[in-house]
Structures are given as C-alpha cells and as structure tokens.
Structure 1
Amino acid sequence: MKKGFMDFFIEANADVFCLQEIKLQEGQIEMGLPGYYTYWNYACKKGYSGTAIFTKKQPLSIQYGLGIEEHDTEGRIITVEFDTHYVVTIYTPNSQHGLKRLAYRLSWEDAFLSFVKDLDKHKPVVLCGDLNVAHEEIDLKNPKANKKNSGFTPEEREKLTQFLANGFVDTFRYFHPEEEGHYSWWSYRSNCREKNVGWRIDYFLTSERLTPNLQCAKIHKDVWGSDHCPIELQIEC
C-alpha cells in the first residue's frame, strides 16, 4: 500500500482483482475500494500467506479453502462463482529451502486439482495465482542451476503438467508460446530485478473451453513495489 498499490489498482480498473500472500489478519488494513465487493481469506498464523479477491460484480457464491481441514488453515484459496464461470485465487504452498515441505505441497496439489476438476464439471474456471513453480526451462533465467531447488523440481513441474493435461490452459503461453525473458518474480538479492534474472511463477489458467474467449495475457514487469509483478488476463466470459 505504501509502494503504489492503489495507483495500479485504479489504473488497471479490473473487473476482478486477485491477491496472494497478503500476510494480513482481519482489521489490520483499511482499503477504500468503492465499486468492489471484497473477500479475504486469512491464515491462522499471523503475518503469513492469505488471499483476497475484489470484484465489481457480486458473486453468486463464495467459498474459502478446499473444505479439507488440513489444507485450510493458511488462507490459500478463495473461489467466487458467477453466472457463467468460477474465479479462483490461489497461493500454492512453497516447498521451502531444502524441500522441507515438498511432500505436503504435492499432497496439497492433488487435493487442489480434484477441487478444481469438480468446479469445472459445473462451470468453466478462471484460476489466478502464485503457483510457486516455473513450469518449463523457458520460465526462469537459470534452469540448469535450479533443477533441485524449490519451485523447479521435477515433482513440482510435473504437478503443473498434470493440471494442464486435465483440461486447462496456461494463458500466457497460449499467446506467447516460445518467447523468453518473461518473468513475474525476482529475488531481492543481487539486483535480480534490474538484471531480469527471474522466474515466471504467477499464472492465469483457464478451462480449455474458454480458449475462444481469451483476448490477451500480460505480465506487467514495469510495475514495482513487490518481488512479484502483476499479471493480467483479458477474457470475455
């Protein structure tokens, strides 16, 4: 909020605005967002995780989490339902340094895929989130050096491959299948942002049947204020 968030929010004028890793508890921040319905999912642990959705149109329904107790204490998912589709904001667990949380992350991925497949049976899905994985070598600057590191392990990459194989589209790669140098996250270390030594770990994924409705997908690499930058999907739903 102190680094230009509201300036970008107003300029973007998005119909739906998704946030991940908000690191807030209820009442910690006041945001004047006239014209938007706001929904927050806070982690039980203070200063950790969490998600939010702001939408101009009032949803038909809102669901927080997966409905699975072991996966719903960290505020990682909000699902809003509209007439023709669902929108899901998601913050995938990080497998952490030394891959200490890899096993949990993989079980979470299986539960999340099952959840989204169930949604997709009823209405198509637009999913926005920090998935904490660079899918292919083109999606990070130094793939060879990171093959055993969190966010680029074979196991994590395979989970995203499986997700897409179940009827979903990586919208940025739909429009830019072979373009290199497009990243959404940069380490604060060693001037990585200035050097564009980054990772593409933030995605809009949609149900395949929405492909004819896709208009464009963007990464706003010139918007600073976080170690991530905003991403955008324009779609006719």
Structure 2
Amino acid sequence: MKLISWNVNGIRAAVTHDFLTSFKTLNADIFCIQETKMQEGQLELDLPGYYQYWNYADRKGYSGTAIFTKIKPLSVKYGMGVDVHDHEGRLITLEYEGFYMITSYTPNSQTKLKRLDYRMTWDDDFRHYVNQLAETKPVIFCGDLNVAHEAIDIKNDKSNHHSAGFTDEEREKFTELLASGFTDTFRYFYPDKEGIYSWWSYRFHARDHNAGWRIDYFVASNSLQDKLQDAKIHNEIFGSDHCPVELDVDLK
C-alpha cells in the first residue's frame, strides 16, 4: 500500500502548478494533504476512483486538510474532539479494519513564538488522542508536523535553534510522542541520511541551495514496524514550498 502526504500550501494554487499530474504520477492508495486554504465549494477536484474527505477551517483561506483514498473507510472523524483545536480544519481520521489513518497539520508556533504555548497544548492533546486510538488498533499519522526533530533534519541547526519548529520545547514533545509507542518511518529506514528535507523557505533561493527542513512525516505505531516497506521524500516534485513524502506499508 502506498501512502502519500503533501502540504500543498493552497490546493487551488497547487492545481495551477500541476498538482493533478503529480497526483496521478504518485498513484497513492491514500493521499493526504494539508494547508488546503479553501472553503467548501471553492474547488471541485475530479479524482476518479477516490473517495474525498475535507476538513475546512472556520477562517477563510487558512489551514485545512483533506484525504483522498481508494479504500472506503469504516468511519471518518474530523478534528480530535477538543473544541479549542477543532476550528482550524487540522485533522482527519479514517478508520479501517486494521488501522487508523490520520492527516494532521500541526499548528506553527509563529514568529517570536507567540503561539508556542498553544502549540504545547496541541502536542499534548494530539499525543493523548493518538494513544487512545492505538489502544484499539495501530495508528499511522502523517502531515506537516511543523517540527524538525533532530539536528540532522535541518540544514542550519545552530542559527535556527530558537526558531519556530526547532525549539527545544517542540522537539522534546516530538520525542515524547515517539516514546509513547510510535516510529518516525523515514528515520526507521534511513537513520543517518543527511541533506534530505521536505520544506524550503521561498526566501533566499533556499530550495536551490537545499537549505531545508524535514518537517513532513509518516509516523506509525511500533507494532507496524514489521509491515513497513520503505519511506521516501519526493524532493524532485515541485508545486509547493513542501514536497510529498511517502510510506510504503503492507497492510493487507
């Protein structure tokens, strides 16, 4: 089974930058996107063979997630059931026979870390949410998690030490999440691989210089480790400031 996650930084803009060609080329069984930046009715995507599930933010042109899947889920949940988090369209959970599939767009702590306290609350509540699900069946979650976990996951670690997405607090929360029973699938296969990133600032020609961050992930319950087949980061694909990430897993 091929799973794809991509922060498209505005699906309407991405469509004008060949999103549909990339979508067809990747040919995922489940394709998760983040930062759709749209409201219901603003775009109709013709994706034959896929069920579509969208979670829109209350605020127009902001946040938002979607999942396109060839496999019809048993149930669909929007948000995590915590009101303070569930107005920005950041989470969709699909339930399947053998696992839960989640797309997540984790809040950014923003400039001067003005949203760091809220981010800490989100991280705690999200960890609680996925661990509750994991008591029933394994969980795979993906998305723009807005944290570069280790120095190897960012080009300029020293100059960004206190930047949003690379603070000690955010990195420690991700460590805590993994320690609760989850695997960073890319690092599972490539523990020492350097220079592989999934996001580059639009400023200073960052992508040309590969001055990036790895902040897009597939994370899976530890119980699925023997079913993991490969993880990929498609930095050859353009159309957003992020690139797609992939997990190949045997869930038959």
TM-score (norm 1): 0.99
Determine whether 1:54 maps to 2:68.
yes
1:77 corresponds, among 73, 80, 91, to: 91
Indicate the percent of aligned positions where both proteins have the same amino acid: 59
Once the two structures are TM-superposed, the CA of residue 30 in structure 1 deviates from its matched residue by 1.1
SS at match of 2:126: helix
Determine whether 1:162 maps to 2:176.
yes
**In the TM superposition, what whole-angstrom CA distance separates every residue of 1:187-211 from its partner, at most 9, and x where no partner exists?**
0011100100000000000000000
Give, in whole Å, the separation in 2 of the partners of 1:66 and 1:87. 13
**In the TM superposition, what whole-angstrom CA distance separates every residue of 1:113-149 from its partner, at most 9, and x where no partner exists?**
0000011000101111100000000000000001111
Give, in whole Å, the separation in 2 of the partners of 1:131 and 1:216. 20
Determine whether 1:141 maps to 2:155.
yes
SS at match of 1:80: strand
Give, in whole Å, the separation in 1 of the partners of 2:168 and 2:36. 28
1:121 corresponds, among 116, 121, 135, to: 135
Structural RMSD (CA) = 0.5
Once the two structures are TM-superposed, the CA of residue 49 in structure 1 deviates from its matched residue by 0.3
Superposed, 1:1-237 pairs within 5 Å as 1-237=15-251
Once the two structures are TM-superposed, the CA of residue 41 in structure 1 deviates from its matched residue by 0.2
**In the TM superposition, what whole-angstrom CA distance separates every residue of 1:18-72 from its partner, at most 9, and x where no partner exists?**
0001101000101001101100000000010000001001100000001111110
Once the two structures are TM-superposed, the CA of residue 11 in structure 1 deviates from its matched residue by 1.0
SS at match of 2:135: helix
SS at match of 2:124: helix
- The residue number in structure 1 matching 2:4 is none
Give, in whole Å, the separation in 1 of the partners of 2:89 and 2:105. 8
Once the two structures are TM-superposed, the CA of residue 12 in structure 1 deviates from its matched residue by 1.0
Once the two structures are TM-superposed, the CA of residue 169 in structure 1 deviates from its matched residue by 0.2
Give, in whole Å, the separation in 2 of the partners of 1:175 and 1:5. 28
Once the two structures are TM-superposed, the CA of residue 13 in structure 1 deviates from its matched residue by 1.0
Query: More helix by proportion, 1 or 2?
Result: 1
Instruction: Count residues in correspondence.
Output: 237
Give, in whole Å, the separation in 2 of the partners of 1:29 and 1:176. 37
For structure 2, the 5+ residue unaligned runs are 1-14
Give, in whole Å, the separation in 1 of the partners of 2:27 and 2:211. 29
Give, in whole Å, the separation in 2 of the partners of 1:123 and 1:23. 31
For structure 1, the 5+ residue unaligned runs are none
Give, in whole Å, the separation in 2 of the partners of 1:83 and 1:149. 40
Give, in whole Å, the separation in 2 of the partners of 1:68 and 1:189. 35
Higher relative contact order structure (alpha carbons within 8 Å, sequence separation ≥ 6): 2
- Which one-letter code corresponds to 1:217 in the other structure? A
SS at match of 1:196: coil
Structure 1 residue ranges, 4+ long, deviating more than 2 angstroms after superposition:
none
